[in-house]
Chain A
């Protein structure tokens, strides 16, 4: 388990190249102060952001995920964000139904001129995820610890538990 008093959430942000990435850039060049817990992955368009990106982020140790792109009617590719809006509307409900707290997710529209909005999105998300705590339940699904812990101990733990927690039938 992660020590809550020193817990720093790890948040992965999948953002589009044209609006949010530029907005985040503006926030940086404007020297806006914001939490440093967010790692940005830049993609051409929110329409390119597959649901598996979110899954992979959680698998690899993220405690929260941000998906952000151009406002409606602003998409560089005309309709990528509209398609994304439908898909993520469904995926968010699916995650919720499977027991993944939707508070670990932020979806936002941040344009190239909205550096301040990006600052808000980041700070609010990090605060929210900090309150929720580490997503150990997901990170531990394969019996392995996260990279935040001793990585080598984690490997050995996985090997040692090879016949038990990962598959009920083999307990």
Chain B
């Protein structure tokens, strides 16, 4: 077993805890400035049967809902109960019936972002016309309305965060049009695992951030709370599914839902605690810290962490000729973890090794993005840790940095010199996180 990092990292148990837990503070300048969480508009009680009927109805009408469903792959059929639990996976997809639903099961393997930033999409097509001029036809942005049912709160919460970069120096029409066309009902989460840490990044398992409605499991169904005009409109369009709460049951169902959410919140809160301001300062001042020098050793540079991440949004742009003089321009998912991401035409690569690339991942999410946009670029969904083929553990790494930052702020005069004082070669290159 790896030795615990100085002070406060526990690696021998199921949970990561920081001993000197510092309370994360909301709305510190530059730490987190999220739009106020929308207030509840209406409450409904939707039985499990009514939800199933709604899903079937939407599919029959040719407007299937997007929802978590069991995967059925070439080798592993997750609907087969004899398949090991670790091999049974779920994914978001357009469901053709309620039988496919996998609500409240393992986190879908890809996040919801593919419905707003598809792995590949056409930006425009081009052709050279008879006169030798190039004509461009932009991709249409009139997307059909779609509804997502049972989204993970940590996926939904990512959307308003990414909205900021998508509307920063340029308003991304495709992203915005898909956002506008989509109504999202999240499902409060009660199945966290050791990789989750939403409560360490200002969220919780029942966050309504980004959602038009929130479902919370209660006896025989779900308490549904609408949070936006889109949420209200969807409920109004399906009155047979959204039963108004009968007088008297209102309080009981709401209290039960509160208890479910509070219990889940408490469980996750035990996983990790971060002091974001201190973390950000440490990251800002320790670009060359020896801590980074071993972090990329086991990393494959494969970018699975970015593919599965709800907040990673980098894309590459390619022109694809269909023939002489015509073709399409597309954008495709990309990731800072690959060696070619920053490769210059000259052959120079400013991020020459995987340490530098892994540092970029942490810096972007916990320093640069919060600094620029006020939001941490991470919802603590834990997908990156779960999906990483070499078991890089983001929560463990963050806990280690948090501990370093805490140690230095306890001895402020050393802070600035830390990177010069420590010698990279002396740091035992073992797990990376605990060196």
Binds A, one of B46-54, B117-125, B388-396: B117-125
Q: How far is the CA of A170 from the CA of B116 in the complex (A)?
A: 8
Query: Which chain B positions have C-beta within 8 A of A163?
Result: 118, 121, 143, 178
Known: A170-B118, A170-B121. A156 touches B137 (CB 8 A): yes
Q: Is B11 an interface residue (CB 8 A)?
A: no
Contact (Cβ within 8 A) A160 B140: yes
Q: How far is the CA of A155 from the CA of B327 in the complex (A)?
A: 7
Known: A159-B140, A163-B143, A169-B110. A152 touches B92 (CB 8 A): no
Query: Which chain A positions have C-beta within 8 A of B94?
Result: 171
Q: Produce 1/0 per residue, B120-146, CB < 8 A to A.
A: 111011110000000001111001000
Query: Which chain A positions have C-beta within 8 A of B126?
Result: 155
Query: Which chain B positions have C-beta within 8 A of A154?
Result: 322
Known: A155-B137, A171-B93, A171-B94. A162 touches B322 (CB 8 A): no
Contact (Cβ within 8 A) A159 B137: yes
Query: Which chain A positions have C-beta within 8 A of B120?
Result: 166-167
Contact (Cβ within 8 A) A169 B140: no
Query: Which chain A positions have C-beta within 8 A of B118?
Result: 162-163, 167, 169-170
Q: How far is the CA of A60 from the CA of B138 in the complex (A)?
A: 23
Tell me the nearest residue of chain A to B91, going by C-beta: A169
Contact (Cβ within 8 A) A155 B119: no
Contact (Cβ within 8 A) A162 B114: no
Known: A144-B322, A170-B114. A159 touches B93 (CB 8 A): no
Q: How far is the CA of A152 from the CA of B93 in the complex (A)?
A: 32
Q: How far is the CA of A166 from the CA of B118 in the complex (A)?
A: 10
Contact (Cβ within 8 A) B139 A151: no
Q: How far is the CA of A80 from the CA of B286 in the complex (A)?
A: 56
Q: Is A147 an interface residue (CB 8 A)?
A: yes
Query: Which chain A positions have C-beta within 8 A of B122?
Result: 158-159, 162
How many A-B pairs with Cβ below 8 Å? 66
Q: Is A86 an interface residue (CB 8 A)?
A: no
Query: Which chain B positions have C-beta within 8 A of A159?
Result: 122, 124-125, 137-140, 328
Q: Is B75 an interface residue (CB 8 A)?
A: no
Nearest Cβ on chain B to A163's Cβ, whole angstroms? 6
Nearest Cβ on chain A to B61's Cβ, whole angstroms? 16
Nearest Cβ on chain B to A144's Cβ, whole angstroms? 6
Nearest Cβ on chain A to B324's Cβ, whole angstroms? 9
Q: Which of A60, A158, A166 contacts B323 (CB 8 A)?
A: A60
Nearest Cβ on chain B to A51's Cβ, whole angstroms? 20
Q: Is B115 an interface residue (CB 8 A)?
A: yes
Contact (Cβ within 8 A) B322 A155: yes
Q: Is B326 an interface residue (CB 8 A)?
A: yes
Q: Is A31 an interface residue (CB 8 A)?
A: no
Q: Produce 1/0 per residue, A137-160, CB < 8 A to B.
A: 000001010010001101110111
Known: A154-B322, A159-B124. A167 touches B137 (CB 8 A): no
Query: Which chain A positions have C-beta within 8 A of B137?
Result: 155-156, 159
Contact (Cβ within 8 A) B326 A155: yes
Q: How far is the CA of A60 from the CA of B321 in the complex (A)?
A: 10
Q: How far is the CA of A159 from the CA of B138 in the complex (A)?
A: 8
Contact (Cβ within 8 A) A151 B326: yes
Query: Which chain A positions have C-beta within 8 A of B320?
Result: 142
Q: How far is the CA of A63 from the CA of B110 in the complex (A)?
A: 36
Nearest Cβ on chain A to B80's Cβ, whole angstroms? 21
Contact (Cβ within 8 A) A155 B114: no
Contact (Cβ within 8 A) A168 B93: yes
Q: How far is the CA of A165 from the CA of B140 in the complex (A)?
A: 15
Most buried by A among B110, B114, B143: B114
Nearest Cβ on chain B to A20's Cβ, whole angstroms? 27
Query: Which chain A positions have C-beta within 8 A of B326?
Result: 151-152, 155
Tell me the nearest residue of chain A to B94, going by C-beta: A171
Q: How far is the CA of A163 from the CA of B119 in the complex (A)?
A: 10
Q: How far is the CA of A171 from the CA of B119 in the complex (A)?
A: 12
Within 8 A of B (CB), among A82-138: none
Nearest Cβ on chain B to A41's Cβ, whole angstroms? 16
Most buried by A among B120, B126, B322: B322
Q: Which of B92, B143, B323 contacts A169 (CB 8 A)?
A: B92
Q: Which of B91, B127, B140 contacts A155 (CB 8 A)?
A: B127
Contact (Cβ within 8 A) B139 A147: no
Query: Which chain B positions have C-beta within 8 A of A142?
Result: 320
Interface of A toward B, CB cutoff 8 Å: 60, 142, 144, 147, 151-152, 154-156, 158-160, 162-163, 166-171
Can you list 19 contacts pairing A with B, beta carbon distance less than 8 Å?
A60-B323, A142-B320, A151-B326, A155-B126, A155-B127, A155-B137, A156-B137, A158-B322, A158-B328, A159-B124, A159-B138, A159-B328, A163-B143, A166-B120, A167-B118, A169-B119, A170-B119, A170-B121, A171-B94
Interface of B toward A, CB cutoff 8 Å: 91-94, 110, 114-115, 118-122, 124-127, 137-140, 143, 178, 320, 322-323, 326-328
Nearest first, the 4 A-B pairs at minimum CB distance are A170-B118, A155-B125, A162-B122, A169-B114
User: A147-B323, A155-B328, A170-B114 given. 20 additional CB < 8 A pairs?
Assistant: A144-B322, A151-B323, A155-B137, A155-B327, A156-B125, A156-B137, A158-B122, A158-B125, A159-B124, A159-B138, A162-B139, A163-B121, A163-B178, A166-B120, A167-B119, A169-B91, A169-B92, A169-B110, A169-B114, A171-B94
